[in-house]
Amino acid sequence: MALGKMVLGGCVGVIALLAFSMSAEAKRARCFTTDDGYFSCYYRAIASDGSFRISAPGYPTYVLEIDGPGFAYGYVNFGRRNVSLPGQFVRSRDDGACWNNPQTNTKLCAW
């Protein structure tokens, strides 16, 4: 009986791990940045607060970390290290998939 409970507990743990890893996988998306225009990309949620990363071959990787509801700070990675983007990003009222930076007049979207 104890062995059966251990096996069942192990199976539940494996299922939970698989479910978590599948939710953390990058998903195909369509992206837009002011600098790069429209391009096919991969979107990955990196925290439960809505922070995310977009990446694509031949393009820099962008990360937006949520600072509070509707506000985020951004980073860009050109291959070696993250570089902080100036200013604060604000979630677009017109399209919730987009974030605008009024200080730099830039936009980042992932659909």
Tens-digit pLDDT profile for residues 75-95? 999 988 999 999 999 999 999
Distance CA 42, CA 75 (A): 16
For residue 29, what are the β-bridge partners?
41
Distance CA 5, CA 72 (A): 45
- Mean pLDDT along residues 8-32: 61
**Is residue 54 within 8 Å of 61, Cβ to Cβ?**
yes
Instruction: Pick 49 or 1 by higher pLDDT.
Output: 49
Q: How many CB atoms lie within 10 A of CB 3?
A: 7
The model's pTM is: 0.76
What pLDDT sits at residue 36? 96
What pLDDT sits at residue 25? 87
Please state the domain extents for the chain: 27-110
Whether the per-residue pLDDT at 57 is higher than 70: the answer is yes
Whether the per-residue pLDDT at 2 is higher than 60: the answer is no
Whether the per-residue pLDDT at 43 is higher than 60: the answer is yes
What pLDDT sits at residue 14? 43
